[in-house]
Amino acid sequence: MTMTAPLLQTVILNYRTPDMTMRSVAAALREMQGIAGEITVVDNASGDGSFEAMQTHAQAQGWTQGSRVRVLQSGHNGGFGAGNNFGIRAGLSTGQRPDFIYVLNSDAFPDPGSIRALMAHLQLHPETGFAGSYIHGEDGAPHLTTFRFPSILSEFEGAIRFGPVSRLLKNRAVPRPTPDHTTRVDWLAGASMMMRREVLDQIGLFDEVFFLYFEETDLCLRAHRAGFQTVFVRDSEVTHIGSVSTGMKEWKRVPGYWFDSRLHYFTKNHGAGYAAGATMAHVTGGILNHLRQLIQRRPRTDPPRFLRTLLAHNLSALRHIRRARPTPLPDPASSRDRS
């Protein structure tokens, strides 16, 4: 009996970084040699000529021959999740169904063997739904991409930033130290993450209510509730610049869509009451941190008016939520039976 080679669809989302995106495509193509599948590049309505420039470049490089690279236009910038969903729904140009979906940031460049390492892990471990890479900067320094699911206690710990509290709540803190080996985590940053297609069929794609941030957290939580693991694969290494499209490094104030995404995550998955508790925990921890900074005559580290904005945003939004309930938890055993 001849085994069919697994099919891989790599999705790379572009927003006004065409040169960087083409560099990412070139690295992914190199690492996909010998792997059946193709790359889908989605321009997320950049409106700056990115789509045309990428089409021209892909054709000039011969990438469009043999259906290895397709450049598509989403027509609407609905954010990270919506743009990636557009590419996933477009599927392979051959009409075949991919076995795995690989989401790669436009400012991320797979190192040798990285894509094969993710695919090999998913093939060997059917209980794994999502597999993500070890991410490092161009200087070789690791980027923080492994996390625990947010909670009321993690909100307090992250806001107070006080050693004794952090040590007490170390197993509740959202950021996890970068592991030195392949291991299970709660969720991974989506800069380089491979997903089993049958898991997406069961739990759905990215929630498009999230414009940016928390969409990977929500997706991994849904996979967890359906009985699938998210795994950090240490042997898969990817070089990442970071925050090129979002401009996060230059933020002077946290944008409104971050507050929207945070609130949607908590209300959707835990209910409005829990969301309010998480906000109050963060505000309380933040006030205590500010008092300590004031006493110690240290400069404040939060963006200007962050706590005030967080509280006002959440109070305003929660007034409009009626009988918000947590997302029902599917029974893992029954979910597997249906797959």
Break the chain into its structural domains and give their ranges: 8-142+178-243
For the cut 90, the answer to whether the pLDDT of residue 320 exceeds it is no
State the pTM of this model. 0.90
- Contact in structure between 265 and 257 (CB atoms under 8 Å): no
| Confidence (pLDDT) at 330 | 47
Q: How many CB atoms lie within 10 A of CB 165?
A: 18
Structure tokens at 170: 């170390």
Q: How many CB atoms lie within 10 A of CB 141?
A: 7
Q: pLDDT (tens digit, 9 = 90+) per residue, 265-307?
A: 999 999 999 999 999 999 999 999 999 999 999 988 888 899 9
| Confidence (pLDDT) at 243 | 60
- Contact in structure between 334 and 226 (CB atoms under 8 Å): no
Residue where the block lists tokens 């849904």 = 222
Sign of the four-CA dihedral 31, 36, 41, 42: negative
- Contact in structure between 257 and 212 (CB atoms under 8 Å): yes
State the CATH architecture for 8-142+178-243.
Answer: Alpha-Beta Complex (3.90)
For the cut 80, the answer to whether the pLDDT of residue 197 exceeds it is yes
